[in-house]
Every structure is written in structure tokens, then in C-alpha cells.
Amino acid sequence: MFGTESSLSMFLNTLTPKFYVALTGTSSLISGLILIFEWWYFRKYGTSFIEQVSVSHLRPLLGGVDSSSPSNSNTSNGEADSNRQSVSECKVWRNPLNLFRGAEYNRYTWVTGREPLTYYDMNLSAQDHQTFFTCDSDHLRPADAIMQKAWRERNPQARISAAHEALELEDCATAYILLAEEEATTIMEAERLFKQALKAGEGCYRRSQQLQHHGTQYEAQHRRDTNVLVYIKRRLAMCSRKLGRTREAVKMMRDLMKEFPLLSMFNIHENLLESLLELQNYADVQAVLAKYDDISLPKSATICYTAALLKARAVSDKFSPEAASRRGLSTAEMNAVEAIHRAVEFNPHVPKYLLEMKSLILPPEHILKRGDSEAIAYAFFHLQHWKRVEGALNLLHCTWEGTFRMIPYPLEKGHLFYPYPICTETADRELLPTVFHEVSVYPKKELPFFILFTAGLCSFTAMLALLTHQFPELMGVFAKAFLSTLFAPLNFIMEKVESILPSSLWHQLTRI
């Protein structure tokens, strides 16, 4: 034992200050590299690499529970419903107010040189077009067969050329749709092409309507022709809205909803709500909300925030936070605040765009409900309606952050809605152009422990290396004193053991 202590003491005495400089410098360099990698991985994927490896690979080896294993068979029905709701809320939806590619998205690219749409978003649109505008019997009509291939083309020029080729054979509604969406450079030109598509689409719809009961093939054709006709009429209504003919757009949307009441997947009521708000026809807006803001129907930012805007409109012009703090909130003010809290809980990203705390970009063609993509799509079209109502943005500014005090944290359960889904950030990063837009994340992620730890370790070892280089002898004394103090408890224990055990037994143990 004493021989070991003497050899350790001799080893420490032979160490030079250069050794301590090299040791601390190397430690600082390694911890700095780990810190840089951890920070890059966290910014890119939103999680710590070390933590992810520990949870995914080390915990199963140490006997931890695998998070992917199935839960107990006696899981309650409430938990199962919550899981199903979480999955449905992570579904990507078609943006009801999506812009025109040729007349709006492409014009933005020409001016700024930036691509407003991601590949993932455009790929989803291509899948939508194949679902809505094609059917199994397209090979029977040459123009439809060409368009079936055109919707699968990735190159925009190839799609446009295929649409012109189809029109040379016959008046094809889907060919006109493609040209209106992608080739037309103005809304007026797109409207002209959609009117031609409407003429061709109505003829196909009438023919397939008469034959729909003759077999599954004709039924599929009629379903496709119905989708085409609804799409054309809706886009014509949106053209009228963009060209300032808002009353005409409202009439077209009402007629469309009355003619095809079961096609709720297009969410035409959201287009109607925006047009009615532009007309400041708040009574009709309330009537639409009364029909669609139902507990059995899926919610959206448009539904929740429009309901909050109407409640805020009743009190916002006279609202003062100082007066409210003195006398308390009236019943109408309380209803408005609760409506804002409800809207913010559904989508917490919207207020920063409405209050212009975060810059807007062009909305994507698809949105994720409760995500940043939906917030951008809502604020892009509805910010002007909030500004038009006097004091509405002031009321929102004073009350929206109070929502987060009512929501349990961590977000294991919600207050008025299901818990906020954890999948929104990943989907939004695919839908939004992250090159020039910083995706809004809720709840804001704290820095992982390992990043903080490596940052502290890197700073500490770098400071030690600097001090050792500047004061080598003094730091050598400190290092020896530190090591002596570190080994002092062990020496004390060994001395006690030697005093208790017989010397012969201790001699035998040391020999072993």
C-alpha cells in the first residue's frame, strides 16, 4: 500500500506544467467539438444527439422500457381516443385559400429569386391532383389519358406541354385547370381559362350523371367529374374575390355549398367566411360559424379566431387594460377574452403574426392544423380583417399570453382541446421554406442538458488551460494539492482498515 502511494507521489512530482497545459487544452478542444456538434444537431433536428442515443440504444441494453412497445391491453378508452385524435391532428390538409402557382407563387419567385413552395408541399399537391382529377377509366378517353400522365410529371413545362397536347384532341376540363393554375400569369387570365374549364366540365358532369348507375366504372367517372366541377367553381369564386367582385364570390360559394353539401373536404366555408369578413357582413359570418363551429366537427384556426374576432368586436373599441384592472372585466369582455384563449390554445402560433411580431411569408399549398403553416395561412388572409376592427389587435395583445397559464405543463393534457400534438414541428419544417423562414415551435424547447454540460465543461477546461499556460508553477501546486485532497478520504479509509485488520491478514491480502 505504501509502495503504491510513494509511486503515485513520485509520478505526480515528475509531471511538468507542459503536461497540464496539454491535458487541459486537449480536454477543452474535445468538449468544444462535442458542443458544436450537439448545437448543430439540436438546431437541425430539435433534440440532443447524446440524449437520443442514450434513450434509443443504451436504455434497452440497461433494461429500460422500450417506448415503442405496445401498452397494456387494459388501456382506457379515453387514452385510446386521445391517441386517435392526436394522429388525426397531425394530418396534413389542403389549404382552402391556397394561391395560384402561375399568377402568384411564380411571380414571387421572379421578383425575389426565392422558392415559396417546398418539394414536399408540391408533391402532396401532385397526389391531390391524381386523386381528384383522375380515375381508372381515363385510358378510354385520349385527352384524359394524357392528363393522367401530366399530373405525375415533376417538370412544370412538361405538364403544361401535356395540357396543350390534350386540348388539341378535345376540350378537356382538367387540361384547362392545369393551365389556369400553372401557366396563367395573372388572375384575369386564370379566370378566363377556368371559365373554359367550367364549360367543358359541366358537359362531362351531365353525361356521367346519367350513366353513374350503370356500373362501378361509370360511378368512378361521375365522382371524378364531380370533383373537377366543384374545384373549378370554387377557383372561379376565388378569382372573383381576388379581382374585387366579393359579392359575386359570396354568391358563387353559397350556391356551390348548396349544390354539393356533402363535399366538406374542400372546406369551402372557410373561403366564404373570409369573403363575408371582407364585406363586413358580421351577421352572416356568425350564422356560418353557428353551423360549422360545432363540437362534432373538426376545428381550424379560421373557425376559432373568427369566433374570437366577433366576440372582440363587441368590446374592443372601448377596452382599456387599466380600466379593466380597476373595475374588473364585464361579461362581454370576459366572453371575448375566453374566446381569444380558446383560439390561442388551438393554434398558439397565430398571435405573433397578427401582432406583426413575426414576419409573414406566402402560405403553403398544404397546412397542418394547429401548426405554424396553418397560422401563416390564416394570418396572410385575415390580418386585414383584424386591423379593420378597432381595438381588436390591442385586446389580443393584452390577453393572448394568459392562455399559457391555463394549459397544464408539460402538455400531457389540454384545457379546451386535446393536448397539443408533438408532430407539428417536423411536418411544418417539411411544408415551409426553412431557408428564409424560421419555423415557430410550441412549446419552446429548452436547451438539452448535454449542451449545457458540454458548454460548461468546454469553458472550464479552456480557462484551466489558459491559467496553466500563464502560471505553470502555481497551477502545478494547485493540481497537486487538488489530487492530494481528492485521494485524502481513500488514504484515511486505508489507514483505518490497516489499524483494524491484523497485520498478517493484511499482508496476505496485499500479496493476493
- Dump pLDDT digits (tens) for 434-472: 888 888 877 565 555 556 666 676 777 777 777 776 777
What count of other Cβ atoms lies within 10 Å of the Cβ of residue 350?
28
Contacts 24+ apart (CB under 8 A), 15-22: 15/476, 15/479, 16/476, 17/468, 17/472, 17/473, 17/475, 17/476, 18/472, 20/464, 20/468, 20/472, 20/475, 20/476, 20/479, 21/465, 21/468, 21/469, 21/472
H or E, element range at 277: helix 268-278
- The one-letter code for the residue type at 84 is R
What count of other Cβ atoms lies within 10 Å of the Cβ of residue 87?
11
Nearest to 340, CA basis, from 316, 363, 361: 316
Range in 4-13, 34-43, 486-495 the model is least confident about: 4-13
d(CA 380, CA 122): 20
Q: What integer is the mean pLDDT of 244-249?
A: 94
Nearest to 160, CA basis, from 178, 143, 148, 174: 178
At 145-173, the pLDDT tens digits run 899 899 888 899 999 999 999 999 888 89
The pLDDT, as a whole number, for residue 450 is: 58
d(CA 127, CA 466): 60
Q: What integer is the mean pLDDT of 329-350?
A: 88
d(CA 231, CA 104): 18
The pLDDT, as a whole number, for residue 68 is: 39
In which band, very low, low, confident or very high, does the pLDDT at 410 lie, cut at 50, 70 and 90?
Answer: very low
H or E, element range at 418: none
Does the pLDDT at position 74 exceed 70? Answer: no
* DSSP H stretches of helix in 99-245: 106-112, 119-133, 142-150, 156-169, 173-178, 187-211, 216-242
Does the pLDDT at position 177 exceed 70? Answer: yes
List the grid coordinates of 245.
367582385
Are 354 and 387 in contact by the 8 Å Cβ rule? The answer is: no
Does the pLDDT at position 69 exceed 70? Answer: no
Nearest to 86, CA basis, from 323, 347, 370: 370
pLDDT mean across residues, the chain:
79
* DSSP H stretches of helix in 301-407: 301-313, 321-327, 331-346, 350-354, 372-388, 392-399
The pLDDT, as a whole number, for residue 73 is: 39
d(CA 413, CA 235): 39
The pLDDT, as a whole number, for residue 205 is: 85
List the grid coordinates of 14.
515528475
The pLDDT, as a whole number, for residue 66 is: 43
Does the pLDDT at position 144 exceed 90? Answer: no
- Classify residue 219 as exposed, middle or buried by CB count within 10 Å of its CB (0-12, 13-18, 19+): middle
| Locus of grid cell 462535442 | 34
List the grid coordinates of 421.
400534438
The ranges assigned to domains in the chain are 20-54, 98-266, 281-446, 448-495
pTM (2 d.p.): 0.71
d(CA 223, CA 127): 17
